[in-house]
Chain A
Amino acid sequence: MNIDWSIVIGFLPALLNGAKITLYITVTGLIGGIALGAVIGLMRAYGGYILNTLAFIYVEIIRGTPIVVQVMFLYFALPVLVDIRIDPMTTAILAIVINAGAYVAEIVRGAVLSISKGLTEAGRAIGLPRWKVVVYIVGPLAFRRLIPPLGNQCIVSLKDTSLFIVIGVGELTRTGQEIMAANFRAVEIWTAVAVFYLIMTGTLSLLLRIIEKRMRIL
């Protein structure tokens, strides 16, 4: 067995490009996922029977199926069903939006419901409209409790992008696979790929720590 780390240098540009695509899918997907999750989560917490039930069904379907199945469904089943064909990149982003959205929804719902009912009542009792109670009182408090689980979900979603390999998106894992197929340098390449992931998730973790520290009041 001869291991030669120097060969990795030659593949750095390709790996870097794969990492960029990974990051792009993660960031755009999470922006959409967090927005969607916030809406669904608020529907779960404040919606009437119908909104709440719709949101509940969505969350249960997504949480109850593997993300690979969701991707396959979007990419292969949707075109058959409704004649919509989307390219692999859009599918990947959409999959993150829909998947992260469900988990974020539960995070948002949990955070909102963890804020004591008494505070909401105190807000309403001084004559605030409901939306102001949510925006000014429950929101900021819930937000602090949201940060740790939300950060966790960001890391999970980042790693989930690796399975878009199944629809041929050229993200980091796929790039590693392609290089591998050409030169069979498994140890060097997969180590390099793992390090790239670690750098990205590590940066995210660090960022989280800093934000958490800043918001320590409560």
Chain B
Amino acid sequence: MSAIIEFKNVSKHFGQLKVLDKVDLDINRGEVVVLIGPSGSGKSTLLRCINGLEMITSGDLLVDGMSVKGGNKTLREIRQEAGMVFQQFNLFPQMTALENVAFGQRHVRKMGRKAADNSAQELLEKVGLGDKSKHYPHELSGGQQQRVAIARALAIKPKVMLFDEPTSALDPELKQEVLNVMQKLAEEQMTMVVVTHEMSFAKQVGTRLIFMEHGKIAVDANPVDVIDNPPNDRMKDFLRHV
């Protein structure tokens, strides 16, 4: 198995603030990596460095062999390999669900309108929203919006999916529908990096658990092993509060 994401001694600063501190991390194809840690420990930043929404300060970071420091064109190629799902959904409000999903295929993958619409419809069906294709985001529940957002990211045919607290903005009863879609993706061998507080998801679906602290990877292990038996007090303390 070859690594699809390689952090090589990556540091990230925001001005004086060191947010990622010499991170080394290889993520292999098919892995479902669950990222946890206290607020401000750098989880989102780590994720956002992978698709270049944040620029790394030093070290190198390769996605499918391409460096995030390779310039704009390389970055756009990396973003086509690594889809992202945000906590706040961020659907394009002026477009219907179908248009949201088809947009990237048409403008990034250069697919024709009809082909893009067809495959967008398929993707919406896959996330259980085949009947909502004509709805605008504001006509959908949070859980439905987030599933459209997942379909939109999948439409670019990424090799990796990045999730930043995809269920944190959702009411408890809506979380599960999104987690189910994510579980299905994992079963299809999608490589995933997921920031989440859903420990049952981490245990059931995750193949690897990373606990971050002060911009460093403090624990990197099998989810089932460490969630029940946290290797240090800080993680034990953290788990008690999620």
Chain A residues close to B by CB (< 8 Å): 116, 118-119, 121-129, 132, 136-137, 140-141, 217-218
Contact = CB atoms under 8 A, between A and B. Distances in A.
B195 to A, nearest CB: 15
A132 B107 contact: yes
A141 B153 CA distance: 21
A122 B152 CA distance: 10
Contact of B86 (A118, A137, A140): A118
Contacts of A127: 76-77, 79-80, 104, 108, 156
A46 to B, nearest CB: 15
A198 B90 CA distance: 44
Contacts, number: 62
A184 to B, nearest CB: 57
Interface of B: 51, 53, 72, 76-77, 79-80, 83-84, 86, 88, 90-94, 103-104, 107-108, 136, 138, 149, 152-153, 155-156
Given A127-B77, A128-B104, A136-B103, A122 B92 contact: yes
Given A126-B83, A218-B94, A121 B53 contact: yes
The 9 tightest CB contacts between A and B, nearest first, are A122-B90, A127-B79, A126-B104, A118-B90, A125-B84, A127-B80, A127-B108, A127-B76, A118-B88
25 contacts: A116-B90, A118-B86, A118-B88, A119-B90, A119-B92, A123-B92, A125-B53, A125-B153, A126-B79, A126-B108, A126-B152, A126-B156, A127-B76, A127-B77, A127-B79, A127-B80, A127-B108, A128-B76, A128-B107, A128-B108, A136-B103, A136-B107, A141-B93, A217-B94, A218-B138
